[in-house]
Every structure is written in structure tokens, then in C-alpha cells.
């Protein structure tokens, strides 16, 4: 029974996580990466970049008509961001929970936003919100060859030998 997951097969899902400019400037990158590693997810893509307004307009296409959109663009282009692709079982749903409510005032303690931020306009991190959104956003932010498949040195001990 320990050897396989046949009743709940693990899904190899991927999602986009972005440490926003305030997160980079406040030196929170390491602590955010640590949370995803600690949870058990696998890092399959990572880069630091300055976002263009064009990329942002595509990323936030549903928000372009919102009154706060100009502020959002200014915020997201105010410095470099760290863009990550994380892989693992139900990573999209789990990472949304780890990131917490959009408005930090409503985010639970223990979430990234609940632990590190105060205001919706500076909420430190982005996480894709659905399988369709994750696929769209990963294709937008990463070239195909930037996302890697790789094996864990400990996978044979922790997953298969026990």
C-alpha cells in the first residue's frame, strides 16, 4: 500500500508563481522559494526579469478595464520580478492557498500575503488561479526550453524504495 498512490494518483501539474517587485526589493525571494520547496513542489523554471507593459497587458488581460490597472502596471514594472514554474500534485490549488487572499488584510496568517504584506496594491506575489490560467501564463512567461524535466536524487529512497 505504501509503494504506490493508486487510489489517489499524483498529478504532475504546473503553475506560475511570480515574486512581484516589492517582494524582490524586500529580499523575500528566498523565503518564498523555501515555502514551495518545503511543501514538496519541484522547481522547473526560474528567472529574474524586468516586465514589459506589453507582457503585463497580456498577463492581466481581464483587468485592463479596472480603475486600478494603471497603478498595477506601475507597480509591476517598478523593478525586476522573479518568475517561477513549480510542479507537483495539485500545485495550482495548493499554491493559491499558500499565497493567500488577494487583499492581504483578508489573507490568513501563514500565507505569503498574510505574513508579509498589508495592502492589495503591494501584495508580494502572484499565483495562477486555474489549470487554464496556469497553462496560458506559463506559455506567456516562459519559452518551452526554459521549463525543465529533472529527477530528484532522493526520489528513489523516499518514493520507491520504502
Q: In what order do the strands lie in the sheet with 81-88?
A: 42-49, 81-88, 13-19, 125-127
Contacts of Mg ion in 122-141 (CB under 5 A):
129
Active-site choice (8, 59, 101, 126) = 126
Question: Does residue 113 have a known ligand-binding role?
Answer: yes
**Pairwise CA distance, residues 134 & 113, whole Å:** 20
What is the chain's percent helix, strand, coil content, to nearest 5?
45, 15, 35
**Pairwise CA distance, residues 11 & 104, whole Å:** 30
Contacts of ligand GDP in 106-135 (CB under 6 A):
120-121, 123, 126, 129
Identify what 121 binds: ligand GDP, Mg ion, none; CB under 5 to 8 Å per kind.
ligand GDP
**126 in catalytic set:** yes
- 93 near ligand GDP (CB under 6 A): no
Contact between 131 and 92 (Cβ < 8 Å): yes
Q: 31 or 69: whose CB is closer to ligand GDP? A: 69
Q: 44 or 127: whose CB is closer to ligand GDP? A: 127
Question: Does residue 68 have a known ligand-binding role?
Answer: yes
**Pairwise CA distance, residues 30 & 67, whole Å:** 33
Question: Does residue 102 have a known ligand-binding role?
Answer: yes
Phi, psi of 15, rounded to the nearest 5 degrees: -140, 160
Residues that bind ligand GDP (CB under 6 A): 63, 68, 71-72, 102, 120-121, 123, 126, 129
Q: State the binding site for ATP.
A: 20, 68, 96, 102, 113, 123
Active site residues: 126
Residues that bind Mg ion (CB under 5 A): 129
Amino acid at each position: 500500500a505504501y509503494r504506490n498512490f493508486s487510489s489517489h494518483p499524483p498529478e504532475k501539474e504546473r503553475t506560475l508563481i511570480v515574486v512581484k517587485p516589492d517582494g524582490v526589493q524586500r529580499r523575500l525571494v528566498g523565503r518564498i522559494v523555501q515555502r514551495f520547496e518545503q511543501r514538496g513542489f519541484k522547481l522547473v523554471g526560474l528567472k529574474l526579469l524586468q516586465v514589459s507593459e506589453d507582457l503585463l497587458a497580456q498577463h492581466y488581460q481581464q483587468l485592463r478595464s479596472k480603475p486600478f490597472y494603471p497603478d498595477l502596471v506601475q507597480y509591476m514594472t517598478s523593478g525586476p520580478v522573479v518568475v517561477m514554474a513549480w510542479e507537483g500534485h495539485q500545485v495550482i490549488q495548493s499554491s493559491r492557498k499558500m499565497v493567500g487572499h488577494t487583499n492581504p488584510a483578508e489573507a490568513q496568517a501563514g500565507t505569503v500575503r498574510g505574513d508579509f504584506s498589508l495592502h492589495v496594491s503591494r501584495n508580494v506575489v502572484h499565483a495562477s488561479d486555474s489549470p487554464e490560467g496556469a497553462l496560458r501564463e506559463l506559455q506567456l512567461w516562459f519559452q518551452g526550453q526554459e521549463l525543465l524535466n529533472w529527477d530528484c536524487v532522493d526520489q528513489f529512497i523516499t518514493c520507491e524504495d520504502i
